[in-house]
Amino acid sequence: MKKYIGRRVLQLIPVLLGITLLSFFLLHTSSVTAIDMKEANTGGVLSEAERTAMEAELGLDQPLWKQYGTWLVQVLHGDFGTSYVSGKPVGSTFLSKLPATLELTVCSLLLTILLSFPLGVAAAVKKDSWLDRAIRFFSFIGNSLPNFFVALLLLYVFAVKLQWLPVLGSSQGWKGILLPSLTLAIAMAAKYTRQIRAAVLEELQKEYVTGARARGITEKKILYKSVLRSAMLAIVTLLGLSIGSLLGGTAIVETIFSWDGVGKMAIDAITMRDYPVMQAYVIWMALIYMVINLGTDLLYHGLDPRIRLGGEK
C-alpha cells in the first residue's frame, strides 16, 4: 500500500508541473493585463513611463519563460506571490477564503447524502410504483435546472417573499449557509438519486441476491448487508468529483450569495486579471482532483478487497 501511494505521488509531480506550465502561458495570452484593468478602474490614463514602471514592479517586463521560472521557484519555497490588485500575499488571501468554501462543501454534501440515498434506495425497492415515478420525475427536474436559476428561485421565495432567510450569506451565521448549500445539493441530489437507483437495481438482479432470498434471508438484510455495500462502489467516483468541484468553489453560487469563498475569489481574480491569484487557484484545483483520485482508488480497495491496487499480487 505504501509503495503504491508513493508511486502515485511521484507520477503526479510531472502532471502538476505540466498543468502549471500550460495554465501560466494560457493566462498570459490575453491582450488585457492587470495594468490595463487598474487603468480602467481608476478612470485615468497612465503615461508610458508610469506603465513601464508598473510592468517592472510586477515583473511583466520579463520574458514569459523567465516569469514562469521565477514564479515556480517562489512556489516551491511556499511563496505564491503578491496579488496585483490588493497587494497582499496570495497564500494568506487564499487561506482566508478557504474556510468558507470548506464549510459550504461539508453542508452541501451532507444535504446531498440525506436527500439522495433514501430517495434512490426507495425508488429502486419500489420500482415502477407511483413513488418511483414521482422520485424520477423530480430528480429529472432537479438535474435539468441550472444552479444560477435554482439560486435565484430560492432567493426569491425564501429571502424576498417569505423573508425567512437572509439574501447574503457569509455574514449571517448558520442561516446564511442554508440557501447556497441547498442550491448545490438540489442538483447533486437529483443526479445521485438516479445513480443510486440504477446501482441498487443492478445489484438486486444479481445471482447472489437470488441465492440469499432462496436461503430465507430477509429483504432488509440483503439490502443493507450486501446490496448497498456493493452499490457504493458506483457512487464513490461521483462523490469524489463533487467534492473536488465543491472544494474548488462553485463560483456562480458563491457570487450570487456573496459567499466569500475560493470560487468568488477566482471570479474576482479573473475579472481583474490578477494572475498570481488565478495561478494559485489552478494549482489548488489540480491538487484537489489528484488527491481525490488517489483517495478514490484507496476507497475502492477498502470497499471491495478483490480490487487490487497497482503492484499488489
| 179 within 8 A of 258, measured Cβ to Cβ | no
pLDDT confidence of residue 37: 65
65-69: average pLDDT: 82
206-234: average pLDDT: 75
Quick one: what percent of the chain has pLDDT higher than 70? 83
Give the C-alpha distances (Å, rounded to integers) separating 186 from 95, 155, 170.
28, 14, 20
Q: Which pLDDT band holds residue 134 (cuts at 50, 70, 90)?
A: very high
Going by C-alpha positions, the residue among 40, 66, 59, 95 that lies closest to residue 272 is 40
pLDDT confidence of residue 185: 87
User: d(Cα 205, Cα 253) in Å, to the nearest integer?
Assistant: 40
Name the grid cell of 95: 487561506
Q: Of all helices (H) and strands (E), which one includes residue 83? A: none
**Count of H-run helices and E-run strands, the chain:** 14, 0
- Contacts of residue 240, Cβ cutoff 8 Å, sequence gap at least 6: 292, 293, 295, 296
238-246: average pLDDT: 69
pLDDT confidence of residue 42: 61
Higher confidence at residue 204 or residue 155?
A: 155
49-62: average pLDDT: 74
Domains of the chain, by residue range, sit at 90-303
56, with CB counted inside 10 A (0-12, 13-18, 19+), is exposed
pLDDT tens digits for range 248-290 = 557 788 888 888 888 888 888 888 778 888 888 888 888 877 7
Going by C-alpha positions, the residue among 211, 255, 205, 262 that lies closest to residue 230 is 205
| pLDDT at residue 168 tops 80 | no
pLDDT tens digits for range 88-111 = 888 888 888 888 888 888 888 888
| pLDDT at residue 205 tops 70 | yes
User: d(Cα 105, Cα 288) in Å, to the nearest integer?
Assistant: 13
**What is the DSSP annotation of 19-38?**
HHHHHHHHHTT-S--HHHHH
138-153: average pLDDT: 85
pLDDT confidence of residue 307: 57
pLDDT confidence of residue 303: 59
Q: Which pLDDT band holds residue 226 (cuts at 50, 70, 90)?
A: confident
Higher confidence at residue 225 or residue 82?
A: 82
Give the C-alpha distances (Å, rounded to integers) separating 183 from 63, 108, 250, 266.
44, 8, 11, 20
pLDDT confidence of residue 125: 83
| pLDDT at residue 53 tops 70 | yes
pLDDT confidence of residue 169: 60
Of these ranges, 7-16, 78-87, 149-158, 166-175, the one predicted with the greatest mean pLDDT is 149-158
Name the grid cell of 100: 468558507
Going by C-alpha positions, the residue among 288, 296, 295, 276 that lies closest to residue 235 is 296
User: d(Cα 17, Cα 286) in Å, to the nearest integer?
Assistant: 10
3-state class of 56 per DSSP? helix
pLDDT tens digits for range 171-202 = 566 677 888 888 888 888 888 888 888 888 88
Amino acid at 100: A
Give the C-alpha distances (Å, rounded to integers) separating 158 from 175, 251, 254.
11, 21, 17
Q: What is the CATH number of domain 90-303?
A: 1.10.3720.10
Buried b (16+ CB within 10 A) or exposed e, 196-214: bbebbbebbeeeebeebee
User: d(Cα 129, Cα 223) in Å, to the nearest integer?
Assistant: 18
